[in-house]
Amino acid sequence: MANSTILGHRFVDPQLLERALTHRSAGHANNERMEFLGDALVNLFVAELVYERHPRADEGEMTRLRAALVNGAALAEIARAEEIGERLHLGPGELKSGGFRRDSILADAFEALVAAIYADAGWAVCRDLVRRLFAERVAAGAHTPKDAKTRLQELLQAHNLPLPAYDLVGSSGEDHARIFDVTCRITDLSVCTDGSGSSRRAAEQAAAERALAAAQKALDNEQ
């Protein structure tokens, strides 16, 4: 590989970089195992940064902030800024469908690169790199809003009601572009809403957003 520098790190072992940039559609020697390790490393280093930079935040606030910083869309944004997509090795199908622009593929590649840097240069170099990439984002995220599922849970708990039940009712589409359908049911308020998304989590958030509005209306009518 001609250019062995990425994310500001120059690889001693270019094969690690090659593996980190190889999607599973391009062959058996791909970045899936690296992605597993990179996910843990990114979560740890970002959690450490959140803990240090927001000393007054409670556990819930820190959890929400980390979740806002370490998710597919957020990691893909970093990957785009670092032009990782242009260097990915993809199979013909993914190339044809624009896989180098897809959030999930970019986020996985970013995590794999973090693991590759860890393997290439060690803990301290990897930690410093992740902290550098996330420092401004952590500082800017002090007032990250609560997501719909959290707000719905807090509303129900405030009225001594059971938590909602989320059920996956179906999915459709190709593997690389699957859509999930979920329902959110609040039996005590006779509320049942649906939501769709590119992941089960996203679908649950969409259903929760609708359930939140319906639950608040039902509670208002009871008063």
61 labelled ligand-binding? no
- CA-to-CA distance for 192 and 185, rounded, in angstroms? 4
39: annotated active-site residue:
yes
194: annotated active-site residue:
no
| Maximum Cα–Cα distance across the chain | 69
188 labelled ligand-binding? no
108 labelled ligand-binding? yes
Query: Residue 205: phi, psi to the nearest 5?
Result: -65, -40
- Exactly one of 82, 94, 103, 111 is catalytic; name it: 111
How far, CA to CA in Å, does 42 sit from each of 28, 157, 175?
25, 32, 26
Which letter does DSSP use for residue 83 in this model? T
Computed over its alpha carbons, how large is the radius of gyration of the chain? 20
Could you list the active site residues?
A: 39, 111
Binding residues for Mg(2+) are 35, 108, 111
Binding residues are 35, 108, 111
